Structure 1
Amino acid sequence: MHSYSRTAIILHWAIAAALAFQFSVGWSLETLGQKGFALYQLHKSVGMLILALTLARVLTRLRKPRPAAMEGGWEGALAKGVHIGLYGFMLLAPLSGWALVSTAKIKVPTLLFGTVPLPHLPLPQAAHELSENAHGLLGWIGVALFALHVAGAIRHHLLLRDGLIWRMVPGRSVALMAVLIALIPGAFVIGGVMANRAAGTAPAAVAAPAAKVADVVAAQEAPATNASEPVVANAAQPENMTVADEAAGPPPLWTVRPGGTLGFSVGNGSDRISGGFSRWTARIVMDPDRPETADIRVEIDMASAHIGDPTQDEMLPNDEFLGVAAHPKAIFVAKGARATGADGYSARGTLTLKGVSAPQTIRFTLKGAGLTRSVSGSATIARQTFGVGNGDSSTGLDPSVAVSFRFEATGKTP
């Protein structure tokens, strides 16, 4: 009995496993919403992989035709039709998915397996509905063809006992056949497990009060690269009164030491998305004993926003979120602050973000004495006021964003 080439065999089983994974994941994506973002990105990557493997399979078949059919009649015609249908599905389903993403109102960048950028197809947005419907219909057609193909293989092996399956098993090895067949349900189960994890419970930080969440985010952020820049600095009341003699003089100018963090966190269903900014500067003047002398100006480079996921990081500068092209900086200014406790302060000022200016309050505490302080603080920003998250991919986000900062500051008197 003639067998398929080794290349054709490898491609056959690899595509089969990838299809099983896609079917399992595809059924879950619509119900996951924003929680399935990472899985959605993987679904796109695996789809493009199937397209590439299918093209390789077609080229392999053109170079070395398949072994002769083992049966004729309507059974043979049905088998041939299923094979042709599967090839059409494996080409058209990824292409329709690609078209769907390319024509969406919100352009979500695609990084194949988080590495290789996939450009959008030059299609009009009017083609989106057609692409979406076609992709959904093709999915169900693919499931039916896949099931028919598997049923045919079982019929030949268990009922007809004609050894047809051995043409796709190198060396007619029973053990290898078992391993190859196990790839299919294994891939299906893996897809289901990943979908269940995406829909799982929220991390413990979600249940924490907003102020605590801000502290958690700040503690987890990677150190910012502000070694040579003056950065946000706020003074707070010292634990002792060693600067009392200087209180009557001009307030000191505060500069943040390298290693400060500026983070943000927003709820996303039962999940939480956390990120930060790596470039931010400020000029802060404030007497710890006279918070009313505070003069604060913070500038944040919006292009430095990061979450840690390559695809989401590419989305942040877009108009739906930060609108970096038109509004490269966010600016917070405040004149004066007030004490809220032994170590606590608040400053009410104005935040300008994406061209919108609105009142904003920050809260901060300070530990230490004299002109060396450890500062931590937070703010709660109503993102919709500034048009942050104004598209379809933002519907699952909470209306408030928790912002946090933590750094070491040193002061200098004029």
Structure 2
Amino acid sequence: MQRYSRIAMALHWIIAFAIAFQISVGWALEDLGARGFALYQLHKTVGITILLLTLVRIAVRFTKPRPAPTEGGWEGALAKAVHLGLYLFMLGAPLTGWALVSTAKVKVPTLLFGIIPLPHLPLPAAAHELTEGGHGLLAWFGILLFLLHVAGALRHQLLLRDGLVWRMIPLRSTALLWLLALLVPAGLLLGKAIVPAAGPAPRATAAEPLPDNAASADNAAALTESENAALPANAVDASEEAVAQDSIAPPPAWTLQPGGRIGFAVGNGSDTIKGSFGKWTAAMVMDPERPETADIRVSIDMASASVGDAYQDGMLPGEEFFAVAAHPTATFTAKGAERTGANGYRATGTLDLKGITRPQAIRFTLTGTGESRKVAGSATIARAPFGVGNGASSEGLDAKVAVDFAFTARKDQR
């Protein structure tokens, strides 16, 4: 019996496994929200891989001899139509998926296998709805053709018993036939197995543990939004300033030393996304013995945010999250602070993020003596009032983001 070439056989079974996997994963993506981000990236990688393998399969089909058709009439016509439809599906589904990503409002970068960048297609945003509908329709079209193809193979093997299936098996081995046939359910099961399980209800997320010098009970917990709104303004009353003694020295200014960190963490279903800002500056004037003298200003370069994943890092500057093009910097300012413990303080001020200004409070500690102090603290920021995470990919994220910071400051010499 004439068989297909070995490369055609290999491509047939690899693509069959990949399609089964894609079908299984595709069913779950819509309901996952942000929890399905990594799976969505894998789905794109597998889709482009199917596209490339299909192009190779087409080239092999025209360059390698293949067995002649065994049936005529309507059965033969149906078989040809199914094969042609499958090729259209294997080309059309990845291409419409690529177009869907390219026309989406939130531009999500694509790195094939986490390494190779895939550019967006030069398509207008108005084409998004059309590509979205086309991709979904092709998916169902592909499932139908896939089932018809399997049914045809079973018909030839179990009813007609003409051995047609052996043309796509390198050896006439029943064990090998079953092994290859099991690739299809294996793809379906693998796709289902890697889908994230439903996580618990959204919760407030604690920041990462602070350094030992910040472990006092006074600042271990971050402030909630309601606490922020209820805090006093900490303004120094003008009458108190009027009676201040001339002998009191002005509060010292402190200069940040290299090596500091501002980190953030947000719950994502059963997981937690953690990241940090690579570029930021801070200016602090404060006498630790007179916290009401505090004058704090922290400016963060929002384009420097990273969670350690190229896909998600590419999303952070976009409109859904930080809108860096219009609002490159976030700024926290506070005048005055209040003591909460031996080394603990609380400062209430304002946070300007994404063009929106709201009250915000932080807790921090100052440890050490003399010219150098270690500063560590935390805050909890409600993301919705600032419009951070306002799209479909953020649906699984917790409502509040925990922020932690730690750095060393040295007193300026006057």
Contact map agreement 2:157 2:163 (CA 8 A) in 1: yes
Cα distance in structure 1, aligned partners of 2:132 and 2:112: 20
Q: Secondary structure at the match of 2:251?
A: coil
Question: 2:5 is matched by which residue type in structure 1?
Answer: S
- Residues 332-369 of structure 1: per-residue CA shift (max 9 Å, x gap): 22222111222321112222222333332111123444
Task: Decide whether aligned partners of structure 1 residues 202 and 366 sit closer, same or farther in structure 2, where only a CA change above 3 A counts.
Answer: farther
- Residues 180-209 of structure 1: per-residue CA shift (max 9 Å, x gap): 2222221211100111xx134359xx86x6
Tell me the equivalent position of 1:347.
347
Cα distance in structure 1, aligned partners of 2:375 and 2:73: 81
Cα distance in structure 2, aligned partners of 1:374 and 1:218: 10
Tell me the equivalent position of 1:201.
199
Contact map agreement 2:330 2:351 (CA 8 A) in 1: yes
- Residues 187-238 of structure 1: per-residue CA shift (max 9 Å, x gap): 211100111xx134359xx86x65xx1134999xxxxxxxxxxxxxxxxxxx
Pairing 1:333–2:333 present: yes
Match runs of 1:161-180 below 5 Å? 161-180=161-180
Cα distance in structure 2, aligned partners of 1:326 and 1:29: 31
Pairing 1:214–2:237 present: no
For the aligned residue pairs, the C-alpha RMSD in angstroms reads 2.5
Q: Secondary structure at the match of 1:31?
A: coil
Cα distance in structure 2, aligned partners of 1:121 and 1:141: 24
Contact map agreement 1:251 1:413 (CA 8 A) in 2: no
Q: Secondary structure at the match of 2:359?
A: strand
Deviation at 1:176, TM superposition (A): 3.6
Q: Secondary structure at the match of 1:105?
A: coil
Cα distance in structure 2, aligned partners of 1:64 and 1:70: 18
Deviation at 1:250, TM superposition (A): 4.1
Name the stretch that deviates more: 14-23 or 136-145.
Answer: 136-145
Cα distance in structure 1, aligned partners of 2:319 and 2:131: 24
Cα distance in structure 2, aligned partners of 1:172 and 1:360: 72
Contact map agreement 2:25 2:192 (CA 8 A) in 1: yes
Q: Secondary structure at the match of 1:172?
A: coil
Question: 1:101 is matched by which residue type in structure 2?
Answer: V
Report the TM-score, using the length of structure 2 for normalisation.
Answer: 0.84
Cα distance in structure 2, aligned partners of 1:6 and 1:322: 51
Deviation at 1:313, TM superposition (A): 0.3
Name the stretch that deviates more: 123-132 or 285-294.
Answer: 123-132
RCO higher in structure (CA 8 A, sep ≥6): 2
Pairing 1:22–2:22 present: yes
Tell me the equivalent position of 1:190.
190
Question: 2:199 is matched by which residue type in structure 1?
Answer: T
Q: Secondary structure at the match of 1:349?
A: strand
Match runs of 1:188-337 below 5 Å? 188-195=188-195, 198-201=196-199, 210=205, 213-216=206-209, 249-337=249-337
- Residues 49-106 of structure 1: per-residue CA shift (max 9 Å, x gap): 1111111111111112421112223322222221111111111111121222222232
Deviation at 1:170, TM superposition (A): 1.8
Tell me the equivalent position of 1:134.
134
Task: Decide whether aligned partners of structure 1 residues 412 and 340 sit closer, same or farther in structure 2, where only a CA change above 3 A counts.
Answer: same
Cα distance in structure 1, aligned partners of 2:147 and 2:136: 17
Match runs of 1:400-411 below 5 Å? 400-411=400-411
Tell me the equivalent position of 2:216.
none
- Residues 136-168 of structure 1: per-residue CA shift (max 9 Å, x gap): 121111111111111222222233332222222
Task: Decide whether aligned partners of structure 1 residues 395 and 32 sit closer, same or farther in structure 2, where only a CA change above 3 A counts.
Answer: closer
Q: Indicate the percent of aligned positions where both proteins have the same amino acid.
A: 64
Name the stretch that deviates more: 94-103 or 171-180.
Answer: 171-180
Q: What are structure 1's unaligned runs of at least 5 residues?
A: 220-246
Cα distance in structure 2, aligned partners of 1:185 and 1:217: 47
Task: Decide whether aligned partners of structure 1 residues 343 and 40 sit closer, same or farther in structure 2, where only a CA change above 3 A counts.
Answer: same
Contact map agreement 2:32 2:396 (CA 8 A) in 1: no
Deviation at 1:8, TM superposition (A): 1.0
Tell me the equivalent position of 2:359.
359
Question: 1:214 is matched by which residue type in structure 2?
Answer: A
Task: Decide whether aligned partners of structure 1 residues 79 and 171 sit closer, same or farther in structure 2, where only a CA change above 3 A counts.
Answer: same
Cα distance in structure 2, aligned partners of 1:326 and 1:113: 31
Contact map agreement 2:327 2:353 (CA 8 A) in 1: yes
Cα distance in structure 2, aligned partners of 1:332 and 1:252: 20
Task: Decide whether aligned partners of structure 1 residues 409 and 178 sit closer, same or farther in structure 2, where only a CA change above 3 A counts.
Answer: farther
Q: Secondary structure at the match of 1:297?
A: strand
Tell me the equivalent position of 2:146.
146
Cα distance in structure 2, aligned partners of 1:31 and 1:162: 44
Q: After the TM superposition, which parts of structure 1 deviate over 6 Å for at least 4 consecutive aligned residues?
A: none
Contact map agreement 2:350 2:359 (CA 8 A) in 1: yes
Question: 1:16 is matched by which residue type in structure 2?
Answer: A
Name the stretch that deviates more: 271-280 or 20-29.
Answer: 271-280
Task: Decide whether aligned partners of structure 1 residues 270 and 281 sit closer, same or farther in structure 2, where only a CA change above 3 A counts.
Answer: same
Deviation at 1:172, TM superposition (A): 3.1
Contact map agreement 1:217 1:274 (CA 8 A) in 2: no
Task: Decide whether aligned partners of structure 1 residues 355 and 335 sit closer, same or farther in structure 2, where only a CA change above 3 A counts.
Answer: same
Task: Decide whether aligned partners of structure 1 residues 336 and 217 sit closer, same or farther in structure 2, where only a CA change above 3 A counts.
Answer: closer
